[in-house]
Amino acid sequence: KGGAEGAAEEAARKERKIRKKLREVAALEARAAQGKEHLTAKQQLQVARKHKLERTLRKVLKLHKATQTAAATEAGDDGDGRELGGNMHREMTRPSPLQLAREYLTLAEEYRVSLRCTLFHVRRILKEALLKYQLMADMLAAPDVATIHKLVGQCEGYSLHGYTPDPDKAKKEKAAIELKKFRESTRKRFEERLVRKAKRAGLAHDHFLKQGAEPPTADEVCELKAMAKEQAFERWKAKHGQHCWAHHLEGGCERERACAFLHADPVPPTSAEGDEGGEWHG
């Protein structure tokens, strides 16, 4: 193919390639920021090229738009132009949020991104769909990556077959989102205190943030309940100190919304391995 049509297809190909590289960089940055992986020299170079990739993407987007317009104009000059222009437009449409979410999940699993980070990015990518199909609260409470995949699948199904909103669920959805925002602000203040504490002690800013961040498994909670309280509490502080003791071991937290400790659900025994971090949602 030549002329504007060929140029438009080439611009679309370049755009897809650059976007894929940027998503890979985002996954690497997330891993490095959590201190779970030291980037290789090659990976560091890949991250260093991020700004250059972003500049290139902006140029390609301008080129893509211009060549699409030119291709549509050329296609309109012959008898099959309208059909050809329509097909080209469909072929060069950017990946949908659902496609991007699937691709991100693939990368997140490949680079072993934590559940908390994975949830954050999938929620951003699919915010519109999750709100439209009243699945945001379910996503906020997702205990594992398998549940995230399931919810993305539900969004795909509703986008194809339609969805009828549930008024009662809408109220719960709104309450869950408001609670999430409140807890995030509370948690942020808690983390800021830990950072200040580390700085005063002359330690790395994330020194205390890394301690006690591991979520407990369901088996561990049962085991701790069977132990003497003093012994169980010392073990809890050492391994799960950022998580709420009362939420897991005292039948509920009296502070509820005001509690700055993590209220993550226990990790199921089958997924305890390989799931790092964990989302907190009270």
Decide: 140 and 176 in contact? Cβ < 8 Å.
Answer: yes
Q: Is residue 239 part of a domain?
A: yes
- Residue 36 above 90 pLDDT? no
pLDDT (0 to 100) of residue 223: 92
Is residue 204 located within the same domain as residue 154? no
pLDDT (0 to 100) of residue 276: 39
Among residues 165, 190, 207, the one where a domain terminates is 165
Is residue 175 located within the same domain as residue 157? no
Domain hosting 63: range is 1-94
- Residue 277 above 60 pLDDT? no
pLDDT (0 to 100) of residue 93: 59
Is residue 84 located within the same domain as residue 114? no
Is residue 150 located within the same domain as residue 238? no
Q: Is residue 223 part of a domain?
A: yes
* Residue 164: exposure state from Cβ atoms within 10 A (0-12, 13-18, ≥19): exposed
Q: Is residue 64 part of a domain?
A: yes
Among residues 71, 94, 117, the one where a domain terminates is 94
Number of domains in the chain: 3
Is residue 176 located within the same domain as residue 100? no
- CB atoms under 10 Å from CB of 105, counted, come to 19
* Residue 98: exposure state from Cβ atoms within 10 A (0-12, 13-18, ≥19): middle
Among residues 165, 182, 209, the one where a domain terminates is 165
Q: Is residue 277 part of a domain?
A: no
- 62-76, 116-130, 173-187: range with highest mean pLDDT: 116-130
Read off the pLDDT band of 275 (50, 70, 90). Answer: very low
Q: Which residue has the higher pLDDT, 220 or 84?
A: 220
Q: Is residue 278 part of a domain?
A: no
pTM: 0.44
